[in-house]
Amino acid sequence: MFALLVSYGVRAPVGKALAGFLFLAMLAGPAAAEKVHIVAFGDSLTAGYGLPEHEGFVPQLRAWLEAQDEDVRVVNAGVSGDTTAGGQARFEWSLTAELQGVILILGGNDALRGIDPATMRANLDAILETAAERELEVLLVGMPGPGNYGPDYRAEFEAVYADLAEKHDTLFYPDFLAPLGDDPAEALDFMQADGIHPDAEGVARIVEAFGPSVQALIERIRSE
């Protein structure tokens, strides 16, 4: 359109102004409309275990972000049963060229299996190193430490996330399950029958609390 206007010799000041405006709009348009591409990388909590597809974490997060007018694509890379070791093994080949950010939600199965927090730390550290090499922004999501292995295990487990977030300068969401409540009995009201995985209402509560942190990740990506 701009070339057409110039070729026909727009001489009036208003015509020149319009042509200039169209030119600037064409320059600014693609950047303003650029979609952000993020992968949600995790285990069954990310995958949406036990729920109809549209009620899982990633679909509900997509709907929440859309309601906030965020132009973002969120890929579901959750694998049920995955530990941090399994995640570390598949992380690099899960990354496609268009990805700009990662929501990293792993560690729940490490806790269930009583895996040494030092091992979990090494696995997550390796994932974050790979993300840094690929220049991906990360939102690291913590998990509550289990109480059945004693207070020292729990403290060491939970410290892994905060330490790595600081080391790698990632955004950090301390506890994925916190929106379900501090009281275990209260949290069970939003769990499936297994007492481990949130039901649809529980996921909705998580997404409502978690969404702004994803928006912060999107903002960090856009500001690069």
Contacts 24+ apart (CB under 8 A), 179-185: 179/205, 179/206, 179/208, 179/209, 179/210, 180/205, 180/206
| Residue among 182, 183, 194, 223 flagged as catalytic | 194
* 33, 222 contact by CB (below 8 A): no
Radius of gyration, CA atoms only, the chain? 22
Beta carbons within 10 angstroms of residue 107's beta carbon? 31
| Residue among 43, 82, 110, 197 flagged as catalytic | 197
Tokens in use for 133?
A: 């090499």
Residue 37: active-site member = no
Alpha carbon distance 161, 55 (integer Å): 27
SS (HEC) of 98-142: CCCEEEEECCHHHHHHCCCHHHHHHHHHHHHHHHHHCCCEEEEEC
Residue 7: active-site member = no
Alpha carbon distance 198, 180 (integer Å): 9
| Residue among 43, 44, 82, 110 flagged as catalytic | 44
Residues 6 or more apart in contact with residue 40 via CB below 8 angstroms: 46, 57, 58, 61, 74, 75, 76, 77, 78, 103, 105
Hey, which residues are catalytic here?
A: 44, 194, 197
